[in-house]
Amino acid sequence: MDWIQVLVIIGVFASFFIYVLNRIASLQKEISTLSVNLQKEIFTLGANLQKEISTLNAKMSNIEGQITQMTRPKIVRIKDDEDVKEN
């Protein structure tokens, strides 16, 4: 082999190695960007879910209160002797 061929082969391997390193770095950057975006999306969805859960809890509490009032027996006040005498 000639020295020129050896230098060309070394240059090709070096340029391929540099290309692969740059490609890996760009992929890592894209992955980190996507990761940040996903974390923001998850946080937003979690906050929305908390709001919906609190709304549902309030509605359930309201319904439970209405059911309790509907099933509560009516209290009939028995008039005392004093109340009868006053009228």
pLDDT of residue 62: 87
Closest CA to 25 of 9, 17, 11: 17
**Domain count along the chain:** 1
- Tell me if 85 is assigned to some domain: no
46: domain range? 31-59
Instruction: Print the SS3 string covering 22-82.
Output: HHHHHHHHHHHHHHHHHHHHHHHHHHHHHHHHHHHHHHHHHHHHHHHHHHCCCCCCCCCHH
What is the structure's pLDDT at 74?
67
Segment 10-56, tens digit of pLDDT? 999 999 999 999 999 999 999 999 999 999 999 999 999 999 999 99
Specify if 20 maps to a domain.
no
Residue 51 within any structural domain of the chain: yes
**Residue 55 within any structural domain of the chain:** yes
Q: What is the pLDDT of residue 78?
A: 66
- Angle of CA points 18, 20, 21, to nearest 5°: 65
**What is the reported pLDDT for 83?**
55
In a domain, 47, yes or no: yes
Per-residue model confidence (pLDDT) at position 17: 96
